[in-house]
Amino acid sequence: MSTTVTLINVFTAKPGKQQELAKTLAEGTRSFFSKQPGSLSSSVVVGGDGSKVANISQWRSADDIAAFRSDPRFGAYMKSIVELAAGESVMGHTTYSHTGGIEDQEVA
């Protein structure tokens, strides 16, 4: 199993706030999360429904995720997100991926 940890946050933006939420998530990644120890990659995905936005990031370990969540700046950042949306998180390990025609599958 991959030791990389994937964190998926799916948000439902308040009406008319999807684009502002996407920009806020991208800026948070650019200025804070990408600079944290263990940060490997991050993407912001805007749904076509006008309300959903997903933030998908990969980290070296769950401990790295716990560390950024305990940083005092994270609380202020999340307060700005809650003003725009409600969300939920899923954290886990990748058991299958497909990139450029190459499959990588691990039996869980």
With residues binned 3-state (H G I as helix, E B as strand, rest as coil), the percentages for the chain, rounded to 5, are 35, 40, 25
Beta strands in 1-108 (DSSP E): 5-13, 39-46, 52-59, 85-93, 96-99, 102-105
Q: How many structural domains comprise the chain? A: 1
pLDDT band at 102 (very low <50, low <70, confident <90, very high): confident
* Domain assignment of residue 35, yes or no: yes
Range of the domain at 45: 5-99
* CATH code where residue 24 lies: 3.30.70.100
Encode pLDDT of 6-39 as tens digits. 999 999 999 999 999 999 999 999 999 999 999 9
* Domain assignment of residue 38, yes or no: yes
pLDDT of 94 higher than 60: yes
pLDDT at 32: 94
Mean pLDDT of the 69-81 span: 94
pLDDT of 103 higher than 80: no
* Domain assignment of residue 107, yes or no: no
* Domain assignment of residue 108, yes or no: no
> What tokens were used for 49?
């429904």
pTM passes above 0.75: yes
Dist CA 6 CA 79 (whole Å): 23
Encode pLDDT of 40-59 as tens digits. 999 999 999 999 999 999 99
* Domain assignment of residue 30, yes or no: yes
Percentage of the chain lying above the pLDDT 90 cut: 83
Contacts of residue 17, defined as CB under 8 A and 6 or more positions apart, other chains included, come to 84, 85
* Domain assignment of residue 56, yes or no: yes
* Domain assignment of residue 54, yes or no: yes
Give Rg (Cα) of the chain: 15
* Domain assignment of residue 24, yes or no: yes
